[in-house]
Amino acid sequence: MGRKRCIELTDLEQFTLREGLKYHPKHEFRRACQALLWSQKGWSVKAIATELEVCQLSVSSWLNRWQDQGLVGLMRQKGQGRRAILSLTNAAHQKALKQAVATHYQDAGRIKIDLEKALGQSMSRDTVKRFLKKTITLGTDFGEALNPFKIP
């Protein structure tokens, strides 16, 4: 049923991985913790991959990175993952968003359409909502301009 590749974990490492499995905010990290714990119990790479619904290469990669780097190897490194569609530091994005919000205040669907036209980039309504939330949460000049109830 697949080649067994068991790793040995100390009690402290097992505890750390169990805590990571319970409380870490990233799903990818929690799956890697689970894979390591199952590997320590004698599960094969194929069985772990099947159970976690990932490819065997991912499981082998987690095991290798654990052995090479420890817990840090399981975390997503800088530069990995999807690039952001909208950026707070991009002036063109800020300008397009400001114009779209001025035209369609509190209508994320229409704001999305205006942004797609202005930037030439397709995006979801949820992306627009998250971006609006970031601008307001961070208290940028733009975020303050969105608040119609601001007392001068």
Radius of gyration of the chain (CA): 22
Query: Based on the domain organization, do 68 and 116 belong to the same domain?
Result: no
Query: Based on the domain organization, do 20 and 59 belong to the same domain?
Result: yes
* pTM for the whole structure: 0.56
pLDDT score at 135: 81
**3-state SS, one letter per residue, for 121-141:** CCCCHHHHHHHHHHHHHCCCH
Task: Give the DSSP per-residue string, 54-116.
Answer: S-HHHHHHHHHHHHHHGGGGGSPPTT-SPPPSS-TT-HHHHHHHHHHHHHSTT-HHHHHHHHH
- Mean pLDDT over 51-61 rounds to 94
CA–CA separation, 46 and 65 (whole Å) = 18
pLDDT score at 33: 96
CA angle (117, 129, 86) in 5-degree steps:
55
pLDDT score at 93: 86
Query: In 3D, which of 84, 77, 99 has the Cα closest to residue 26?
Result: 77
More reliable by pLDDT, 34 or 76: 34
Query: Based on the domain organization, do 66 and 102 belong to the same domain?
Result: no
In a domain, 54, yes or no: yes
Q: Which of 49, 74, 99 marks a domain boundary?
A: 74
pLDDT score at 141: 52
Q: Which of 20, 39, 74 marks a domain boundary?
A: 74
pLDDT digits (tens, 9 = 90+) for 6-26: 889 999 999 999 999 999 999
Query: Based on the domain organization, do 99 and 68 belong to the same domain?
Result: no
Q: Which two tokens stand for residue 69?
A: 């780097």
pLDDT score at 4: 67
In a domain, 80, yes or no: no
* Cβ atoms of 41 and 74 closer than 8 Å: no
Q: Which of 21, 39, 74 marks a domain boundary?
A: 74
**Domain count for the chain:** 2
Confidence of residue 3 (pLDDT cuts 50, 70, 90): low
Query: Based on the domain organization, do 108 and 138 belong to the same domain?
Result: yes
Structural domain span for residue 135: 91-146
Query: Based on the domain organization, do 17 and 61 belong to the same domain?
Result: yes
pLDDT digits (tens, 9 = 90+) for 128-137: 888 888 887 6
pLDDT digits (tens, 9 = 90+) for 104-140: 877 889 999 999 999 998 999 998 888 888 887 655 5
Domain holding 19: CATH number?
1.10.10
Query: Based on the domain organization, do 67 and 95 belong to the same domain?
Result: no
Q: Provide CB contacts within 8 A for 127, sequence distance 6+.
A: 85, 86, 112
pLDDT digits (tens, 9 = 90+) for 57-87: 999 999 999 999 999 999 877 777 778 888 8
